[in-house]
Amino acid sequence: MADQINIQAKLMRAVLGLLCLFLAHSALAQEQDSNDSLTDSLGNEAPTNVKDPKKALYLSLMFPGAGQVYNEKVWKLPLLYSGVSAAVYFLNFNNRRYQEFILALDIVREGTETSPFPNLNEDGIIRNVNYWRRNRDAMYMVFGVIYALGAVDAFVDAHLSGFDVSDDLTFKLEPSMEPLLANNNAIGLSLKIKF
């Protein structure tokens, strides 16, 4: 048990170290990107905060939350890591209970020792083994879904990073007069969209 805790502590330190290195690299890359100016095909200056969706996706798949850091949406990290931590906690809890009932089932089948669950017969222990195994397997799926949602969120957020959300988005409804054939004119309303 103590060895498992030491391994988990070392793993957490390694993960935090990698996250710090990534944040430092991301900050340096931001500083370099802010000095560059981009132009589109018409020669207009393009927004400099446009992110690469593939890079965000790959970063998020390599390390959960790295895509959110790349997209500069660090406020999403506590949400993502809360979900991942809860999934890992419940996965570990369900696995421990599953292992306890597997051990109890072996003890009951051998009949050499007293059962750790004296109120349960063999069928009750088998039902508990199946119950905790289903819960553990469901938590694997929950963990996978949270991991995938983090990657999809980073990908979509990077796609939307170039979306114009300025105050210059307007709809205008105004009267208009359009020339028709010969000397006839049509009077109506025109809807002008400025973006």
DSSP code string of the chain:
-HHHHHHHHHHHHHHHHHHHHHHHHHHHHHHHHHH---B-TTSPBPPTT---HHHHHHHHHHSTTHHHHHTT-GGGHHHHHHHHHHHHHHHHHHHHHHHHHHHHHHHHHH-SS--SSTT--HHHHHHHHHHHHHHHHHHHHHHHHHHHHHHHHHHHHHHGGG----TT-EEEEEEEEEE-STT-EEEEEEEEEE-
> How many Å apart are CA 151 and CA 135, to the nearest integer?
24
Is 19 in the same domain as 56? no
Domain membership flag for residue 79: yes
Is 70 in the same domain as 140? yes
pLDDT above 90 covers what percent of the chain? Answer: 45
Is 50 exceeded by the pLDDT of residue 11?
A: yes
Domain membership flag for residue 6: yes
Is 109 in the same domain as 15? no
Please tell me which residue, 177 or 43, carries the higher pLDDT value: 177
Is 127 in the same domain as 150? yes
Is 30 in the same domain as 98? no
Is 100 in the same domain as 123? yes
Report the candidate in 134, 11, 121 with the shortest Cα–Cα distance to residue 63.
Answer: 11
Distant-in-sequence contacts of 25-30, Cβ < 8 A, 24+ apart: 26/69, 26/70, 30/72
Is 30 in the same domain as 64? no
pLDDT in tens, 66-111: 999 999 999 999 999 999 999 999 999 999 999 999 999 999 998 8
Domain membership flag for residue 106: yes
Distances (CA, A) of 3 to 9, 10, 14, 120, 146: 10, 11, 17, 32, 28
Domain membership flag for residue 112: yes
Tell me whether strands 170-179 and 185-194 are parallel, antiparallel or unpaired: antiparallel
Is 50 exceeded by the pLDDT of residue 31?
A: no
Domain that holds residue 75: 47-164
Is 90 exceeded by the pLDDT of residue 127?
A: yes
Give the mean model confidence (pLDDT) for residues 173-194: 81
- Look at residue 25 in the predicted model and tell me its pLDDT: 57
Weakest mean pLDDT among 98-112, 119-133, 162-176: 162-176
Domain membership flag for residue 185: no
Is 71 in the same domain as 113? yes
Please tell me which residue, 63 or 194, carries the higher pLDDT value: 63
Question: Average model confidence (pLDDT) for the chain?
Answer: 80
Weakest mean pLDDT among 8-12, 26-30, 102-106, 153-157: 26-30
> How many Å apart are CA 62 and CA 81, to the nearest integer?
15
Is 14 in the same domain as 70? no
Domain membership flag for residue 187: no
C-beta separation of 153 from 67 below 8 A: yes
Domain membership flag for residue 194: no
Is 78 in the same domain as 18? no
Is 23 in the same domain as 116? no
> How many Å apart are CA 68 and CA 74, to the nearest integer?
6
Confidence of residue 38 (pLDDT cuts 50, 70, 90): very low
Confidence of residue 187 (pLDDT cuts 50, 70, 90): confident
Number of Cβ atoms within 10 Å of the Cβ of 118: 7
Please tell me which residue, 139 or 193, carries the higher pLDDT value: 139
Give the mean model confidence (pLDDT) for residues 154-177: 81
Domains of the chain: total:
2
Is 18 in the same domain as 85? no
Domain membership flag for residue 89: yes
